[in-house]
Amino acid sequence: MSNGTIDIPIIYLSTLYIIIGVLSLYLKRNNISSYKELLVAALRMTIQLIIAGFVLDYIFKDASIIKSLAGIIIMLAFTIYTIFSRSSFNLSNELKFLIAISIIFSSLMALSIFIILVLRIKPIYDPKYVLPLLGMILGNSMTSIIICINSIFNKIEDRKNFILSAMMIGLDSKNVLKNILNESFKDAILPQINSMLGMGIVFLPGMMTGQILSGTSPIIAIKYQIGIMLSIFVSVCIANIIITQFTRNIFFDENENLKLEIKMIKK
């Protein structure tokens, strides 16, 4: 036990890996291809968390603004790469640039608001606060952006004939895409709204649970959780507002022609 927190021996933790292995065998026997993704995800998660643990331990021991900035840059770069790789469609360079701008701007803005205006920590670059909070913001924002992008592509592909017909009778691209972009924005933020609706009654979120297990007062943990959930929602909304507001220029050229109707192919 360390600082009131029960340590988990590796041998006990391995029990969960055995269960994951059994579940993957079940998926394989039932010809569900996701068993490979499950094994890869479990292995990748383990390796990434082990590396992150050692890196964070090194950063926390001798905190500096340079180390914090390096951590922020690495996290942003990996998030952007993950969004590109997890998208179901091939993305143009213009769309990749828009995605990168949206995730960087939205996450850093939400983090800054929480760190500077709410927590008011000093120094503001304290990695014990900055990096874990940024990680939670990025994780949720990343998922929402992937949902939004895939939703836009799928809806345009499904309604391509309607879009082309509407353009032929004189409707501009803004009006043609309005419903699609609004629906995609709703798809992107809905999981976050559902999460907030069930929080505290249906389940206790990870950050709050971790703080309580480490001995923090539940009241303090609640205030942190409220702050980070609202910050996450701010980032999710801003990121997807940027994408839905500027996507039209990417899908249509200056002559109001649908540019990506041929390129909208799944990976």
**Which tops the pLDDT comparison, 221 or 206?**
221
Q: In terms of domains, do 176 and 224 share one?
A: yes
Q: Closest by alpha carbon to 156, among 166, 145, 144?
A: 166
Cα distances from 134 to residues 73, 84, 114, in angstroms, run 11, 19, 10
Mean pLDDT of the residues in the chain: 85
Q: In terms of domains, do 241 and 121 share one?
A: yes
Percent with pLDDT over 70 in the chain: 86
Q: Closest by alpha carbon to 242, among 96, 106, 79?
A: 106
**Which tops the pLDDT comparison, 137 or 35?**
137
Ranges assigned E (strand) in the chain:
none
- At 267, the pLDDT band (50, 70, 90 cuts) reads low
- At 3, the pLDDT band (50, 70, 90 cuts) reads low
Count of other CB atoms within 10 angstroms of residue 221: 20
Domain that holds residue 88: 65-251
**Which tops the pLDDT comparison, 122 or 256?**
122
Residue 159 has pLDDT above 90, yes or no: no
Residue 55 has pLDDT above 90, yes or no: no
SS3 31: coil
- Type and span of the H or E element at 114: none
**Which tops the pLDDT comparison, 239 or 161?**
239
Q: Closest by alpha carbon to 107, among 233, 257, 263?
A: 233
Q: In terms of domains, do 69 and 58 share one?
A: no
- At 137, the pLDDT band (50, 70, 90 cuts) reads very high
CA atoms lying within 13 Å on the CB side of residue 147 = 21
Average pLDDT (167-195) is 84
CA end-to-end distance (rounded Å), the chain: 48
Helix intervals (H) in the chain: 10-29, 34-61, 65-86, 93-112, 127-158, 160-168, 173-198, 206-213, 218-246, 248-251
Q: In terms of domains, do 198 and 117 share one?
A: yes
d(CA 252, CA 112): 34
Q: In terms of domains, do 223 and 242 share one?
A: yes
Contacts of 21 (CB under 8 A, 6+ apart): 39
- At 123, the pLDDT band (50, 70, 90 cuts) reads confident
Average pLDDT (258-266) is 52
d(CA 10, CA 27): 26
Question: Does residue 199 lie in a domain region?
Answer: yes
Say how many residues make up the chain. Answer: 267
Question: Does residue 257 lie in a domain region?
Answer: no
Q: In terms of domains, do 138 and 20 share one?
A: no
Average pLDDT (144-173) is 82
Average pLDDT (88-92) is 81
Q: In terms of domains, do 105 and 162 share one?
A: yes
Q: For residue 114, count CB atoms less than 10 angstroms from its CB and return exposed for 0-12, middle for 13-18, buried for 19 or more.
A: buried
Q: In this structure, what token pair is assigned to residue 122?
A: 């000093």
| DSSP conformational letter for 109 | H
Q: In this structure, what token pair is assigned to residue 166?
A: 């509407």
**pLDDT tens-digit map of 7-44:** 788 898 899 999 999 999 988 888 887 888 888 999 99
The confidence score (pLDDT) of residue 142 equals 95
- Type and span of the H or E element at 82: helix 65-86
Residue 256 has pLDDT above 70, yes or no: no
Total domains in the chain come to 2
**Which tops the pLDDT comparison, 192 or 158?**
192
- Where on the phi/psi map is residue 124: left (φ > 0), alpha (ψ -120 to 50), or beta? alpha
Residue 262 has pLDDT above 60, yes or no: no
Q: In terms of domains, do 117 and 21 share one?
A: no
